[in-house]
A and B are shown apart, each in its own frame.
Chain A
Amino acid sequence: MKWAQKLLLVDRRIIFLLVFLGALIPILSPIGLIVQVSPPVRAIFDRVERMQAGDAILLSFDYGPSDGPELDPMANAILRHCNKKGIKVLGISLFPLGGVDMAFARMADLTRDLGGQNGIDWVNLGYKDGGQAAMKLMGEDFTAVFPTDADGVPIEEIPLMQGIRNYGDLEMAISLATSVLGEWWINLVNAQFGIDVAVGSTAVSAPKYYAYVEAKQAIGVMGGMKGASEYEELVERAYPDLAGLSRTATVGMDVQSIVHLVIIFFIIFGNIMYVLTQRTRREGI
Chain B
Amino acid sequence: MRVRGWLFLVLLAVAVGAAGGQEARMGLTVEDTPSDDGRSLTVRWDGEADSPLDVRIERRMRDAAEYEIAGNARVADGEFRDLGLESDAAYSYRLVIDPEGAARTSAPSPYVSPQENFFRLFRVNALVVILLMGVLVVGYIMAARRGADLYIRRIAGLDAIDEAVGRATEMGRKILYVPGIISINEPQTLASLGILGYVAKLTAKYGTQLEVPNADPLTMAAAREIVKQSYLEAGAPEQFHENMVHYITQDQFAYAGAVNGIMVRDKPAANFLLGWFAAESLLLSETGQSINAIQIAGTAQVTQLPFFVAACDYTMLGEELFAASAYLSKDPLILGSIKGQDMMKAAILVMVVVGVIMATAGVQGFVDWFTAL
Contact B84 A208 (CB under 8 A): no
Report chain B residues within 8 Å CB of A52: 54, 72, 74
Interface size class of A (residues with CB under 8 A): 20 to 34
A282 touches B (CB below 8 Å):
no
Report chain B residues within 8 Å CB of A163: 69, 71
User: Nearest-CB distance from A135 to chain B (Å)?
Assistant: 16
Contact A168 B72 (CB under 8 A): no
User: Nearest-CB distance from A51 to chain B (Å)?
Assistant: 10
A141 touches B (CB below 8 Å):
yes
Partner of B303, one of A97, A166, A204: A204
A163–B83 Cα distance when bound, in Å, is 11
A224–B72 Cα distance when bound, in Å, is 33
Given A163-B71, A168-B71, A207-B303, verify A97-B84 contact (CB < 8 Å). Answer: no
Which residue of chain B has the shortest Cβ distance to A169 in the bound complex?
A: B71
Contact B81 A208 (CB under 8 A): no
Contact B84 A55 (CB under 8 A): no
User: Nearest-CB distance from A264 to chain B (Å)?
Assistant: 15
A12 touches B (CB below 8 Å):
yes
- A163-180: CB near B (< 8 Å → 1, else 0) gives 101101100000000110
A55–B279 Cα distance when bound, in Å, is 36
Report chain B residues within 8 Å CB of A179: 278
User: Nearest-CB distance from A53 to chain B (Å)?
Assistant: 8
Report chain A residues within 8 Å CB of B251: 97
Report chain B residues within 8 Å CB of A178: 278-279
Contact A208 B290 (CB under 8 A): no
A147 touches B (CB below 8 Å):
no
A54–B251 Cα distance when bound, in Å, is 39
A53–B83 Cα distance when bound, in Å, is 22
Given A12-B290, A179-B278, A194-B373, verify A165-B84 contact (CB < 8 Å). Answer: yes
User: Nearest-CB distance from B324 to chain A (Å)?
Assistant: 22
Contact B278 A208 (CB under 8 A): no
Partner of B84, one of A66, A141, A204: A141
Contact A166 B84 (CB under 8 A): yes
B366 touches A (CB below 8 Å):
no
User: Nearest-CB distance from A202 to chain B (Å)?
Assistant: 8
Report chain A residues within 8 Å CB of B83: 165-166, 168-169
A54–B96 Cα distance when bound, in Å, is 15
A111 touches B (CB below 8 Å):
no
Contact A205 B303 (CB under 8 A): yes
- B60-77: CB near A (< 8 Å → 1, else 0) gives 000000000101101000
Given A52-B54, A52-B72, verify A168-B303 contact (CB < 8 Å). Answer: no
A205–B303 Cα distance when bound, in Å, is 6
Report chain B residues within 8 Å CB of A169: 71, 83
Which residue of chain B has the shortest Cβ distance to A211 in the bound complex?
A: B302
Contact B69 A168 (CB under 8 A): no
Contact A208 B303 (CB under 8 A): yes
A169–B73 Cα distance when bound, in Å, is 10
B369 touches A (CB below 8 Å):
no
B119 touches A (CB below 8 Å):
no
B133-164 CB contacts (< 8 Å) to partner A: none
Contact B279 A204 (CB under 8 A): yes
A141–B39 Cα distance when bound, in Å, is 12
Report chain A residues within 8 Å CB of B302: 208
- B74-93: CB near A (< 8 Å → 1, else 0) gives 10000001111000000000
Report chain B residues within 8 Å CB of A208: 302-303
Report chain A residues within 8 Å CB of B40: 168
Report chain B residues within 8 Å CB of A66: 253
- A39-75: CB near B (< 8 Å → 1, else 0) gives 0000000000000111100000000001000000000
Which residue of chain B has the shortest Cβ distance to A190 in the bound complex?
A: B373
A165–B290 Cα distance when bound, in Å, is 54
- A117-142: CB near B (< 8 Å → 1, else 0) gives 00000000000000000000000110
A55–B74 Cα distance when bound, in Å, is 11
- A203-219: CB near B (< 8 Å → 1, else 0) gives 01101100000000000
Contact B290 A168 (CB under 8 A): no
Which residue of chain B has the shortest Cβ distance to A216 in the bound complex?
A: B371
- A75-105: CB near B (< 8 Å → 1, else 0) gives 0000000000000000000000100000000
Report chain B residues within 8 Å CB of A191: 373
User: Nearest-CB distance from A2 to chain B (Å)?
Assistant: 21
A169–B74 Cα distance when bound, in Å, is 14
- A17-49: CB near B (< 8 Å → 1, else 0) gives 000000000000000000000000000000000
Report chain B residues within 8 Å CB of A168: 40, 71, 81-84
A166–B85 Cα distance when bound, in Å, is 12
User: Nearest-CB distance from A211 to chain B (Å)?
Assistant: 9
B269-310 CB contacts (< 8 Å) to partner A: 278-279, 290, 302-304
Report chain A residues within 8 Å CB of B373: 191, 194
Report chain B residues within 8 Å CB of A207: 303
A274–B72 Cα distance when bound, in Å, is 64
Report chain A residues within 8 Å CB of B100: 53
User: Nearest-CB distance from B18 to chain A (Å)?
Assistant: 32
A194–B253 Cα distance when bound, in Å, is 35
* New A-B contacts (19) at CB < 8 Å, excluding given A141-B84, A168-B81: A52-B54, A52-B74, A53-B100, A54-B72, A55-B72, A66-B253, A97-B251, A163-B69, A166-B83, A166-B84, A168-B40, A168-B71, A168-B84, A178-B278, A178-B279, A179-B278, A191-B373, A204-B279, A208-B302
| 20 pairs, CB–CB < 8 Å, chain A vs chain B | A12-B290, A52-B54, A52-B74, A53-B100, A54-B72, A55-B72, A140-B84, A163-B69, A163-B71, A165-B83, A166-B83, A168-B71, A168-B82, A168-B83, A169-B71, A169-B83, A178-B278, A178-B279, A191-B373, A204-B303
Using CB atoms and an 8 Å cutoff, list the residues of chain A in contact with chain B.
Answer: 12, 52-55, 66, 97, 140-141, 163, 165-166, 168-169, 178-179, 191, 194, 204-205, 207-208
Using CB atoms and an 8 Å cutoff, list the residues of chain B in contact with chain A.
Answer: 40, 54, 69, 71-72, 74, 81-84, 100, 251, 253, 278-279, 290, 302-304, 373
